[in-house]
């Protein structure tokens, strides 16, 4: 994907994020056609730009962006299966996806969860507890960055982030997975990610 440098007008800022108090966030998203329309390409690029800029302190302040590692189109009121993810590892290497029609085609039985719990741009309230997810997943979808259909084998934190964003396609929020009776109940044989 071409690097356009800094964007003059951000299409999405924190003001466009749909909150969990709005029914739209619980609706199901639709598949998009491949090849992507110009509109869907632009939406994916704008979602990716949001996430890229949100982790830069200067740009996040300039454009009023809450920090994020991922965002789904549903969160800006577009009910299409589009999502963007930007992850940095311990060496500051970047993994980026701008995915259309992403779907999980297989997953491990073993679970994993973030010790500190999950958060979401669309959720302002506090929802503490462990969010059990598959520890390993295989995902297929069209990646705008690579310009082709791809298969991703993800584990650990990356797998959790991808599952969180794909959940948005089905109107599911992270706190829907938390055990209501015992939010911090130990999950047998799960991988705990610090």
Please indicate, yes or no, if residue 117 is contained in any of the structural domains: yes
As a whole number, the mean pLDDT across the chain is 93
Beta pairing class for 82-88 and 94-107? antiparallel
Residue 151 has pLDDT above 50, yes or no: yes
Here the CATH number for the domain that contains residue 111 is 3.90.45.10
Count of structural domains, the chain: 1
**What's the domain range around 142?**
14-193
Query: Do the strands 94-107 and 136-143 form a parallel or antiparallel pair, or are they unpaired?
Result: antiparallel
Choose the catalytic residue: 58, 128, 165, 181: 165
Rounded average pLDDT over 56-76: 94
Q: Is 96 an active-site residue?
A: no
Phi, psi of 160 (to 5 degrees): -65, -45
pLDDT at 34: 97
Stated length of the chain = 194
Question: 78-90, pLDDT tens digit by residue?
Answer: 999 999 999 988 8
pTM confidence score: 0.93
Examine residue 42 and state whether it is found in any structural domain, yes or no: yes
**Least-confidence region, from 9-18, 152-161, 176-185:** 9-18
What is the average per-residue pLDDT within 84-111? 94
- pLDDT band at 91; cut points 50, 70, 90: confident
Q: Let me know if residue 76 belongs to a domain.
A: yes
Would you say residue 146 lies in a domain?
A: yes
Per the model's pLDDT, the better-predicted residue between 8 and 111 turns out to be: 111
Tell me whether residue 167 is in a domain: yes
């Amino acid at each position: 994907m071409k690097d356009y440098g800094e964007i003059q007008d951000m299409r999405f800022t924190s003001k466009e994020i749909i909150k969990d108090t709005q029914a739209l966030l619980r609706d199901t998203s639709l598949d998009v056609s491949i090849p992507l329309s110009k509109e869907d390409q632009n939406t994916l690029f704008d979602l990716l730009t949001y996430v890229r800029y949100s982790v830069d302190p200067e740009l996040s302040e300039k454009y009023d962006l809450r920090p994020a590692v991922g965002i789904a189109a549903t969160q800006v009121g577009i009910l299409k299966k589009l999502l963007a993810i930007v992850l940095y590892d311990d060496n500051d290497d970047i993994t980026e996806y701008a995915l259309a029609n992403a779907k999980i085609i297989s997953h491990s039985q073993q679970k994993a969860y973030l010790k500190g719990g999950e958060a979401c741009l669309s959720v302002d309230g506090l929802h503490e507890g462990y969010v059990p997810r598959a520890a390993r997943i295989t995902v297929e979808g069209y990646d705008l960055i690579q310009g082709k259909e791809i298969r991703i084998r993800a584990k650990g934190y990356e797998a959790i982030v991808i599952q969180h964003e794909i959940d948005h396609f089905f109107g599911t929020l992270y706190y829907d997975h938390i055990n209501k009776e015992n939010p911090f109940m130990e999950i047998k044989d799960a991988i705990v990610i610090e």
